Chains A and B, each alone.
Chain A
Amino acid sequence: MPYLSAYPRAGQIALLCEGDLIGYEATLFQKWTGTELGTAPLVDIWPCGTATSIHGVSDAVGRSRPIFVIEDRDFRSADESREDCARNQKDRERRSIRVIGWSTWDRCEIENYLLEPDVLLPVFCEAFGCGDEDIISAIDEILPSLALFQAGQYAMSRARRLWLLTDPAGALLSGLSLRPQWNDRERRPVPPDESAFRTGLDRNSKTWKEHMNAIECDVVGDFDAKFKLWKSCQWRDNFWRIDWAGKEILHWLRIAMTSRFGWPVDAESAKRETLSWALSRDKREAQDRPIEAALRPRMINQFVAKLSTLPKGIRDEFGRIKTAIKSHQI
């Protein structure tokens, strides 16, 4: 029997993703599901902020509606993200949450799909009144200067991943019983065996400490390896569109373009002024926010309009998502 609840929104399937209410994921999925699926089934988009928050939201809505989850892949390999997703899905299903699919983007994050030439070039050309070559030369300058950041982020993600594998939360309680059992005959709960629990906890704790001591993480080696590969990256390469953090590339491209071609200082006159960006990180991001907000829907619209002609890998990926959602029997 389905779990009854006051599901607060219209939708037969909840699609959980990262990002905020007006972020790239929510905007793209709103347009794409509306265009590709219509109302059959009606997909309700839940931008959850971070991947960690997706777990919490999946608990909150997943018993009321079947869920489909897409996380950022970040710097994980395809195999790692597959393993993680399978584990997450199994874990949620154990909690009676109906999971249609739990996956990551094939690319690092959603912004990476907007780096495709057929998306990026027309939008930036129109916004800045420039030619393709202006954008390509800006990218050619930006990429080598971002290689260190990207390689550093990669190395950090490797270290964090190893740390997560030794996270005590799961290991300490593994195989131990904390909850009471219900005794139908006596109609009362029977508490777990305290002595057995303490013995088990002591054993797990010792094992965990050995694990913690055994962590071997070559952060410097990971960084060196990637930096060597990535430091001379150019527009003509393709790996940066897939494996780098796309959000950062777009941020620096906006900086480069507004400093060269200017940005309208008010919507009424559309008069442009070149912007200065020698600012603290906070101020730089604050200045970039309205620029990003203005370009975001244009990029998403262009992506959805051009999806059928984008590289096969992207078409296949969105095709898989569509098939998974459509094939689910409501």
Chain B
Amino acid sequence: MKLRKVRIENFRAIKESEIVFADALGAIRPVTVLAGPNGSGKTSVLFAIVQALRGVMGYRTNDVPEPEELDIHSPLSMGGLSPIPPSISVTLDIEFDEEERVAIRRVMAEVSPEERLGDLPNGKVRAVWKYPPERYPDGTLKPIWYLNRTEPRDAVPWFHGRKNAITGWTSRKFRDRALLDKIGGIYLFPQDRSLRSRVMGERVSQDEESTAPAERKGRDTSSVWGVLEYLSNYSRSAEHVKPEENWEQRIRDGFNQICAPKEYLGFMYRSDDPLGAPYFKDNGRTYPLDMAASGEQVIIEYLARLTYPSPMNHSIVLIDEPEIHLHPGWIRQLYLALPKIGVGNQYILTTHSTELYAAAARDQALIEMGQLIEAN
């Protein structure tokens, strides 16, 4: 799934904006960088995409709050309310490629045969989401995630492919794992600063006998730590893990490409650390994830989240200000590495970083959303 164009009206900082994610030859760019001053609407673009799609895609996130009246971009009226209150409108031009459409058809037939997939001959769908939501004929409000309109009309089930693929795979309704890897989804990396809670997560069990620090005991896969532990165990437990399914190795390779000479060693159990931890190595020193620098935690978070619950391929990945916590050298390396993480992903980044700005400009992948100094 790829996003060719988004048109946003009356959402947060944006009165009206249209962004095309294709280059001059019409090809959708693997990476697009939105740059501009504070308040120019960069984050609003990412949030608008999530608001429009999360309902139909079953993407659960607390990082984008549910829409409310204050999200409507309302011009200040002089001496009274504006006669027609504006509404938010987000229009997405989305494309599913041939291979992805075939995979979605197969998954839906096996997992959700009651849903009818309409024809999508060229793979193109225009989806429109509005807020406040419309009303049903009986006067009740439609859910806030309701997609108001699609062209073609019956295109909504196409967006259910990935959700169904994940549940179908985990419930063993189908066994062809390649299907899952061909269907795209959506994921947002927010810019909030609660890095530690995202990386370390919450304890799910306590072993009072253990002398390990409390925060190192038993973590679920909502945390990066838990994901790394799960993927490591998966690699070890399966008898014949195919190279392409050795996710821990892929995370190691990705980290080492971006952060060399630092290395991610993997989730390791040691005599002095029987509960185990994700371990890193730098200049002869090894240290666990909770002792890693915040930049290292950020990179490992990107890699882990794009791998679990299923490696993201053909997906729309939104990253809000990836430069946070990162040294400029790593920002450059991350920009180069992103297109190689997963297959056929479309990355949309926002930034204030001059490093990202320059790199994207050189790739003709920069969209400027406003100048700090406006011409009079």
A-B contact pairs, 18 of them (CB 8 A): A10-B355, A27-B363, A31-B336, A35-B336, A38-B257, A39-B259, A39-B330, A40-B260, A40-B261, A127-B25, A264-B26, A270-B22, A290-B24, A293-B24, A293-B364, A294-B23, A296-B364, A297-B363
B-contact bits for A35-47, CB 8 A (1 contact / 0 none): 1001110100000
Answer yes or no: B242 CB below 8 A from chain A CBs.
no
Which chain B residue lies CB-closest to A34? B336
In the assembled complex, the CB of B145 is this many whole angstroms from the nearest CB of chain A, namely 27
Answer yes or no: B4 CB below 8 A from chain A CBs.
yes
| Residues of chain B in range 109-159 having any CB-CB distance to chain A below 8 Å | none
Which chain A residue lies CB-closest to B358? A21
Partner among A10, A34, A39, A294 whose Cβ is within 8 Å of the Cβ of B25: A294
Docked-complex contact A9 and B328, CB < 8 angstroms: yes
Which chain B residue lies CB-closest to A41? B329
A264 contacts across to B, CB distance below 8 A: 24-26
Answer yes or no: B359 CB below 8 A from chain A CBs.
yes
Docked-complex contact A268 and B362, CB < 8 angstroms: no
Which chain B residue lies CB-closest to A269? B26
Answer yes or no: B106 CB below 8 A from chain A CBs.
no
Candidate in A26, A34, A270, A291 with the most chain B CB atoms within 10 angstroms:
A34
In the assembled complex, the CB of B352 is this many whole angstroms from the nearest CB of chain A, namely 15
Answer yes or no: B333 CB below 8 A from chain A CBs.
yes
A127-B25, A290-B24, A294-B25 are contacts. A30–B359 as well, Cβ < 8 Å? yes
Answer yes or no: A278 CB below 8 A from chain B CBs.
no
Which chain A residue lies CB-closest to B362? A27
Answer yes or no: A164 CB below 8 A from chain B CBs.
no
Answer yes or no: A176 CB below 8 A from chain B CBs.
no
Docked-complex contact A297 and B359, CB < 8 angstroms: no
Docked-complex contact B24 and A294, CB < 8 angstroms: yes
Tally of B interface residues using CB under 8 Å: 27
Answer yes or no: B5 CB below 8 A from chain A CBs.
yes
Answer yes or no: B217 CB below 8 A from chain A CBs.
no
Answer yes or no: A190 CB below 8 A from chain B CBs.
no
Answer yes or no: A165 CB below 8 A from chain B CBs.
no
Answer yes or no: A22 CB below 8 A from chain B CBs.
yes
Q: Closest 6 A-B residue pairs measured CB to CB?
A: A270-B26, A10-B328, A294-B24, A27-B362, A39-B329, A42-B329
B-contact bits for A6-17, CB 8 A (1 contact / 0 none): 000111000000
A26-B362, A30-B362 are contacts. A268–B328 as well, Cβ < 8 Å? no
In the assembled complex, the CB of A19 is this many whole angstroms from the nearest CB of chain B, namely 11
Docked Cα-Cα span, A22 to B357, in Å, equals 11
Answer yes or no: A330 CB below 8 A from chain B CBs.
no
B5 contacts across to A, CB distance below 8 A: 268
A-contact bits for B354-369, CB 8 A (1 contact / 0 none): 0100110111110000
On B, residues with C-beta under 8 Å from A are 4-5, 20, 22-26, 257, 259-261, 327-330, 332-333, 336, 355, 358-359, 361-365
Docked Cα-Cα span, A31 to B26, in Å, equals 23
B-contact bits for A264-293, CB 8 A (1 contact / 0 none): 100111100000000000000000001101
Docked-complex contact A267 and B20, CB < 8 angstroms: yes
B363 contacts across to A, CB distance below 8 A: 27, 297
Docked Cα-Cα span, A85 to B237, in Å, equals 59
Docked-complex contact A267 and B24, CB < 8 angstroms: yes
Docked-complex contact B332 and A297, CB < 8 angstroms: no
Which chain A residue lies CB-closest to B21? A267
In the assembled complex, the CB of B259 is this many whole angstroms from the nearest CB of chain A, namely 8
A10 contacts across to B, CB distance below 8 A: 327-329, 355
A21 contacts across to B, CB distance below 8 A: 358, 361-362
B359 contacts across to A, CB distance below 8 A: 30
Docked Cα-Cα span, A269 to B4, in Å, equals 11
In the assembled complex, the CB of A197 is this many whole angstroms from the nearest CB of chain B, namely 47
A269 contacts across to B, CB distance below 8 A: 26
Which chain B residue lies CB-closest to A29? B362
A40-B260, A267-B20, A268-B5 are contacts. A22–B25 as well, Cβ < 8 Å? no
B-contact bits for A293-306, CB 8 A (1 contact / 0 none): 11011000000000
B327 contacts across to A, CB distance below 8 A: 10
Partner among A27, A38, A127 whose Cβ is within 8 Å of the Cβ of B260: A38
In the assembled complex, the CB of A125 is this many whole angstroms from the nearest CB of chain B, namely 12
Which chain B residue lies CB-closest to A9? B328
| Residues of chain A in range 240-269 having any CB-CB distance to chain B below 8 Å | 264, 267-269
A38 contacts across to B, CB distance below 8 A: 257, 260-261, 333
In the assembled complex, the CB of A254 is this many whole angstroms from the nearest CB of chain B, namely 12
Partner among B23, B259, B329 whose Cβ is within 8 Å of the Cβ of A267: B23
B361 contacts across to A, CB distance below 8 A: 21-22
B257 contacts across to A, CB distance below 8 A: 38
Docked-complex contact A291 and B24, CB < 8 angstroms: yes
Docked Cα-Cα span, A296 to B328, in Å, equals 24
In the assembled complex, the CB of A264 is this many whole angstroms from the nearest CB of chain B, namely 5
B24 contacts across to A, CB distance below 8 A: 264, 267, 290-291, 293-294
Docked Cα-Cα span, A296 to B5, in Å, equals 23
Docked-complex contact A39 and B260, CB < 8 angstroms: yes
In the assembled complex, the CB of A35 is this many whole angstroms from the nearest CB of chain B, namely 7
Docked Cα-Cα span, A202 to B133, in Å, equals 89
Docked Cα-Cα span, A264 to B23, in Å, equals 10
* Extra pairs beyond A22-B362, A264-B24, A296-B364 (5, CB < 8 Å): A27-B362, A34-B336, A39-B259, A290-B24, A294-B364
B336 contacts across to A, CB distance below 8 A: 31, 34-35
Docked Cα-Cα span, A267 to B20, in Å, equals 8
A10-B327, A10-B355, A264-B24 are contacts. A297–B362 as well, Cβ < 8 Å? yes
Docked-complex contact A267 and B364, CB < 8 angstroms: no
Which chain B residue lies CB-closest to A300? B362
In the assembled complex, the CB of A261 is this many whole angstroms from the nearest CB of chain B, namely 12
B365 contacts across to A, CB distance below 8 A: 297
In the assembled complex, the CB of A14 is this many whole angstroms from the nearest CB of chain B, namely 14
B23 contacts across to A, CB distance below 8 A: 267, 294
A35-B336, A42-B329, A297-B364 are contacts. A268–B4 as well, Cβ < 8 Å? yes
